[in-house]
Amino acid sequence: MSVSSHYDGSAASYFEQFDPERVWTNKEYPANYFRLQLVQRLLAEAGVTSLYELGVGDATPLSTIGSTGIQVAGHDISPEMVKFARANMEARGLDPALISLLDAQDAGAIAAERELRGEFDAVMALGVIPHVSDDNAFVAAMDTFVRPGGRLILQFRNSMFSMFTFNRLTREFILDDLLVGVPDAIRGVVAADLDARLAVDKPPVRTRPTGDGYDEILSRFHNPFELAQVVENHGFSGVKYHWYNYHPAYPMIADQIDARTYREAQVALEHEGTWRGMFLCSAGIIEAIKDPA
């Protein structure tokens, strides 16, 4: 099943992730609520007056940002998300025609969109690069929309978090990333040892009866250092990492801790801004500045 299908199925309830009234009541931790706070701070600090977003979802974040006076536009691959996005834009007094339906991996569509929309102070993509097959092409697409001296804001799933999960993600990271090129005989011994030490049956794979659950579609993790190199290769510099979605204990033992106590600890850690986030956070944002022409 496709990425578009997955998000079609999420469109009607997507707004719940950003509802401040649900921060303490949502069963799932509202990481994207804190992500939006982080992005708004970065845009304000940079003095951004215009923003293009690749993968707007239902445009709750983009319309929230646009309601502050920043000029916004963007696109999404999911027809259902675009429907809700246009409605959300209109509800905030913004032009729904500023939202396009297209695939960020379609170079022709990106070129046409750039011709239509022009150049912006900043470009962002939140929750998109896990679902694309070519990081270089995707960052090139982002670059298309931002002026020299402008900002790139790129969210990613953080592979380094696996060093704190002690589960199948840890196993995969050690075998598939750390031990690349190591002889199979050695990797086999390591694999057997990891199977004995780690909870390799966790986390559960997120599925849907329709076959387009999050873990059933392309949904990659990224090494922050490798992704930063891709960004720099496209003419950006001054890379900064910003972390969110903190875990005060490795997730598989969270149910041993009072739920309110655990969530309070998560919220207290958000935006703490130190190196610890590289390991305690399942997601991060790369911020970079486009070099002068």
Q: How much is the average pLDDT of 78-107? A: 98
Q: What is the pLDDT of residue 19?
A: 94
Instruction: Give the percent of the chain with pLDDT over 70.
Output: 100
pLDDT band at 217 (very low <50, low <70, confident <90, very high): confident
pTM across the whole model: 0.96
pLDDT tens digit sequence for 13-61:
999 999 999 999 998 999 999 999 999 999 999 999 999 999 999 999 9
Report the CATH fold assignment for 3-162+207-290.
Rossmann fold (3.40.50)
- What pLDDT does 276 receive? 97
Q: Is the pLDDT of residue 1 over 80?
A: no
Give the pLDDT confidence score for residue 39 in this predicted structure: 98
> 228-242, pLDDT tens digit by residue?
999 999 999 999 999
Q: What is the dihedral of CA 101, 106, 107, 111, to 10 degrees?
A: -10
So what's the pLDDT on residue 35? 97
At 58-71, the pLDDT tens digits run 999 999 999 999 99
For residue 153, the cross-strand partners are 124, 287
Q: Where are the domains of the chain?
A: 3-162+207-290, 166-202
CB–CB of 244/283 below 8 Å? yes
Quick one: three-class SS letters along the chain? CCHHHHHHCCHHHHHHHHCHHHCCCCCCCCHHHHHHHHHHHHHHHHCCCEEEEECCCCCHHHHHHHCCCCEEEEEECCHHHHHHHHHHHHHCCCCHHHEEECCCCCHHHHHHHHHHHCCEEEEEECCCHHHCCCHHHHHHHHHHCEEEEEEEEEEEEEHHHHHHCCEHHHHHHHHHHHCCCCCHHHHHHHHHHHHHHCECCCCCCCCCCCCCCHHHCCCCCECHHHHHHHHHHCCEEEEEEEEEEECCCCHHHHHHCCHHHHHHHHHHHCCCCCCCHHHHEEEEEEEEEECCC
Mean per-residue pLDDT, 191-207: 95
Strand order, beta sheet including 281-290: 99-101, 71-76, 50-54, 120-125, 146-157, 281-290, 236-246
136-194 confidence digits (pLDDT tens) = 999 999 999 999 999 999 999 999 999 999 999 999 999 999 999 999 999 999 999 99
Q: Whole-number mean pLDDT of the chain?
A: 96
Question: Mean pLDDT throughout 247-258?
Answer: 95
Q: How far apart are CA 197 and CA 49, in angstroms?
A: 51
Please, which pLDDT band fits residue 271 given cuts at 50, 70 and 90?
confident
| Span 240-247, average pLDDT | 98
pLDDT of residue 293: 75
